[in-house]
Amino acid sequence: MNRIILLGPPGAGKGTQAKRLAQELKIAHISTGDILRQNVKDGTPLGGEAKDFMDRGLLVPDELMAKMLKSRFGEQDIKKGFILDGYPRNIAQAMTLEEIFKAMGLDIDAVIYLDTSEKVIIQRLSGRLVCSKCAANFHVSNMPPKKEGVCDKCQGSLYQRTDDNVETIKKRLEVYNNEVAQLIEYYKKLNKLYRLSADGEAGAVLKEIIALIK
């Protein structure tokens, strides 16, 4: 299995797991959130259009996302396989994905749903730290960097995402809960859905995911 979608609420650990899995399986990691944040940082037109939605915890419009995703899937590294993190977020996006795959003659191998309790989500997001250079994730207590404020991997400086505040986290969860049931049903019907609990420590969850894939 090397064409994988990770589904789960914000704070499920999709980014952390996807980065490690991509390394382990030597496949591409596509995080739509990371791509958007990079665009905001670089001041691109896409970043300009997306920023306000992101700051409010809302979904960036589907058409913008579709354009961004089509362009990403046009890159060469996709051929060795990929792990998709943060997309699709609703049924319309799942349809767009299907269209892209159809045109490329690809199919998804597995959709892994990371079940996470609300208590764990809030704890993880409110303590999350992100590297401004390589986008690696840390956590003030669960996964602290070796040196405070500095990325272990590339020495970039760590920051707290502007949308990781209690008010925006609540909005993001509400948006997520409104859309996820339909997505779960959709992938269940296609016999692609695998569920596992992601409340545990990151290393243990990764082992479970790898066992499932293999």
Note the residues at the interface with ligand AMP (CB under 6 A).
Answer: 10, 32-33, 36, 53-54, 57-60, 65, 86-87, 89, 93, 163, 172
Compute the CA torsion angle 50, 51, 56, 61 (nearest 10 deg): 0
- For ligand AMP, the closer of residues 166 and 207 by Cβ is 166
User: Is 195 designated active site?
Assistant: no
CA-to-CA distance for 172 and 21, rounded, in angstroms? 25
- For ligand AMP, the closer of residues 172 and 205 by Cβ is 172
- For ligand AMP, the closer of residues 13 and 33 by Cβ is 33
Q: How far is the CB of 49 from ligand AMP (least distance, A)?
A: 11
Candidates 19, 37, 72, 172; catalytic one: 172
User: Is 14 designated active site?
Assistant: yes
Candidates 14, 19, 20, 124; catalytic one: 14
* Strand positions, DSSP E, the chain: 3-7, 28-31, 82-85, 110-115, 128-131, 137-139, 158-159, 193-197
Q: How far apart are the first and last CA of the chain?
A: 7
User: Is 56 designated active site?
Assistant: no
Strand ranges across the sheet with 128-131: 137-139, 128-131, 158-159
Question: Which residue numbers are catalytic?
Answer: 14, 89, 128, 161, 172
